[in-house]
Chain A
Amino acid sequence: MLFCTSQFCWFFLAVFVAYWAIPWHQTRVGLLLAASIYFYASWNPMLAVLVFVSATLDYLLARGIEASSSPQRKKWLLYVSLAVNLGILGYLKYANFFLRSLETTVHSLGLSASLPVLKVILPIGISFYTFEAISYVVDVYFGKTKAERNLGHFLLFILFFPHLVAGPIVRARDFLPQVLVNKRWSWDRADIGLRLILLGVIKKLAFADRLGQYVDPVFADPAAFSSYAVWLAAIACTLQIYCDFSGYSDLALGLAHLLGYHLIRNFDRPFLSPNLSEFWRRWHISLQTWLRDYLFTPLGGGRRGRWTYHRNVLIVMTVAGLWHGAGWTFILFGIAHGVMLFIHRVFRDWSDRRPVVRAALESAPGWMLRVALTFSFVVLTVILFRATSVVASAELYRRMLWPADGAPLPLTLWGLYVTFLGVAIGHAIGAPDHSNRLWGWLPRPIRGLAFGAALGLALLLAPPQDSAFIYFQF
């Protein structure tokens, strides 16, 4: 069930009405859990069973860790949990990739090998809920959070349908306390929730799905298109991924608000970042903080010298790339960002020792230049993120970096430019404080009509065919 479909609307309406009609807290939790299982099972019932079983195992292991007094036993239980979670993720998501890569390597050495192709179905959202489960068990191990005693509450933490399939990656210590609270209807939350849902619908339908119509043909056959078309498609792809994913996140936050839950913000206008380091603090915030807390810091972070710091950053970014997909392009994407973060850090250290340079960079033109360069780098690396193969990405880069003839984009360009402008305006006014103030100035009837018009126009301008959220495949 995609969020922006009539089927989901009816589903959520039924859950919403039943949820607030039920006065008993535990029954409400049970209702949300049942609805979440139904939501996931609507894709594939067997995979819902898999998630249910693996989550239950993590629940039992966490309780075992907390109950155990033996450090050795605690460690072993932690390892079992990590092995099961990463094993399932590795098998379902990466096994075929590694087998194909191994086969290619063997062939390149002049040997023959025919390795099997595993018939696996990739569960939707597996990367998200696996990381949530890992963070929970690790937090319990280090005593940062208590093991949840109520299986239903824990399952709801993993399976809560607004964030189940594409995040944000929620921490148990943020979510589980909310489950204990008996929710009371709040018009404030409903206001916030509806505005977030509106924002999500606009980003997903009016922007992301529209941009996809320009992007898909070019990435399917890059050799057919001109350099200008490829550049436009790369920019469109960057904005499409942002609008699609942040739109989903907004929808998830809005739906959660309507049910009385608060999820963390996942994006903070990343294209206003003046450097890549800032970009990764504003983009997919929940993944970056997860990688910082559960990978970067355990590796030593920046505490063991400069080169260890850079090594750790490179490892984290490579894992971040690989998290997104089982392919060499994703690995190269991660490595590229890791290398650029290293370059940025070196440049920053150099400029910090030169006040004139520092002042120029922090001036308005300097800031704009840095934002433009950061955005350009992101656009260039999106090629790796989106291309179907390394060879295809090479063709795209060739057309971007050397003038090439070819077909223009297949649709009228004014629609594309208007979409670019829409995203730019959204970034400019999109800070919550700022947009709240602007919104608050309008009289209520005008706000109501604006809400209705924005929602209606987003629905009307969306391409007629439904398309899944990009991050569902992760």
Chain B
Amino acid sequence: MAWTRTRGLSSRGAVLWYLLGAVVFQIGVGVAVERAKTAVRDPEFAQSAARLAARRAEAPTRPLMLVLGSSRTSMGFDPGLVARADGEALVYNMSSLGAGPVLEQVELRRLLDDGVRPDFVVIEVVPMCLASNKVVPIEDTALDPSRLSWKELRRSAQYYRYPIHAYAQWLKTRGLVCVSLNSKRGVHDVLRIDTPLFEKPESPDVAGLGFSPNITPPLEERIAGIQVGVERYGPRLAVSRLAEGPARAVRDLIGVCRSEHIPYAVLLMPECSKLRELHPPAFRADVEQYLAQLQAEDPFELIDARTWVADDGFWDVHHLHVEGARAFSERFAAEALPRLRGKYGRGREFVRR
């Protein structure tokens, strides 16, 4: 006998209960994800934090220099090289793909809430993330709200041009959590169903995360990458000015460091000349003025490395390949580290604010 009506029951009632059951389950899982560990919502951060914990456990007395940034820093900042140059600090690269000041603030707060207090923080500021024209700022679309808890969302949405979009996206991913990519990855990771999907290849000197494949791209690939970057970021930067939301996010991120008495430095990662050319002069002036204002409020060390690496050190307009990362990190160790030591002392003998 083929599929037939289930005996003695109203099919209409059954169908309505199916639909209700599906909705109830989705909402239930959404609530569970919201109340669960951060690892379920944000598996990429959880993996970074777990590695950081492992590194600290290996060297509990070493002062922690934490680097917060985007994919530029993830691929370009070699923490092992810098740590060897310093000789004392545990340098950890906590950068996240697509991160800007909003996500960096979220991550720093999470670490502080977990009792991880870095002794020094290097904050990457991406000038492009501060740009705004008709196109919304980058992080408004790059940051997946499903990674955030409700509390984190409420704090972060204030920086969006259209906060309602962030809330709507968050509700959608919580309401349809079973199809939300990030939540699925988080559940798989926590349940160890598959190999963690954010398993980043570790650099030979393991002191953080490195995302860059250990090869130098051929010229054609670099040219193609630059072309893609110009097409992608050109419209975003054209006639742009400083965006209020991201600028406030950077200020508040610095504010967290100050309120926690954590010394910090601001880093502008290297950029390909093609990308620098895309920045309108007025926007560049806005950024310079904004950074000067921040320094006037609190004299931090600004490491402007935008011109440190030649164009052949990049995969595209702003991601360094392994040779470019080495060049940048060596120069960071040679030029920036002494300045930071000179300003903030060695080890934990930091100037308190």
Contacts and interface: CB of A to CB of B under 8 A. Distances in A.
A121 to B, nearest CB: 26
A439 interface: yes
Nearest to A463: B194
The A interface is mostly helix, strand or loop, or mixed, namely helix
Contacts of B181: 464
Interface string B7-38: 11111111111111111111001000000000
A411 interface: yes
Contact of A440 (B9, B16, B185, B195): B9
Contact of B195 (A6, A412, A448, A455): A412
Nearest to A437: B7
A455 B25 contact: yes
Given A412-B193, A415-B193, A452-B25, A188 B11 contact: yes
B178 interface: yes
A449 B14 contact: no
B20 to A, nearest CB: 5
B12 A436 contact: no
Contact of B24 (A194, A432, A436, A452): A452
A445 interface: yes
A23 B192 CA distance: 51
Contact of B18 (A188, A440, A447, A462): A447
Given A412-B194, A448-B21, A464-B197, A190 B15 contact: yes
Interface in B159-213: 177-179, 181, 183-185, 187-188, 192-195, 197
B179 A6 contact: yes
- Interface bracket on B: 35 or more
Contact of A194 (B15, B192, B195): B15
Interface centre among A440, A452, A457, A459 (most CB of B within 10 A): A452
B6 interface: yes
A4 to B, nearest CB: 10
Contacts of A455: 22, 25, 178
Contacts of B2: 265, 432
B31 to A, nearest CB: 13
A195 to B, nearest CB: 7
28 contacts: A186-B11, A188-B5, A190-B15, A191-B11, A191-B14, A192-B4, A194-B15, A194-B18, A415-B193, A436-B6, A436-B7, A440-B9, A445-B21, A448-B14, A448-B18, A448-B20, A449-B24, A449-B25, A451-B18, A451-B22, A452-B18, A455-B22, A455-B25, A456-B25, A456-B29, A460-B29, A460-B177, A461-B193
Given A445-B21, A451-B17, A457-B178, 12 more contacts: A186-B11, A190-B11, A213-B194, A432-B2, A436-B6, A436-B7, A447-B18, A448-B18, A449-B24, A461-B187, A462-B184, A464-B181
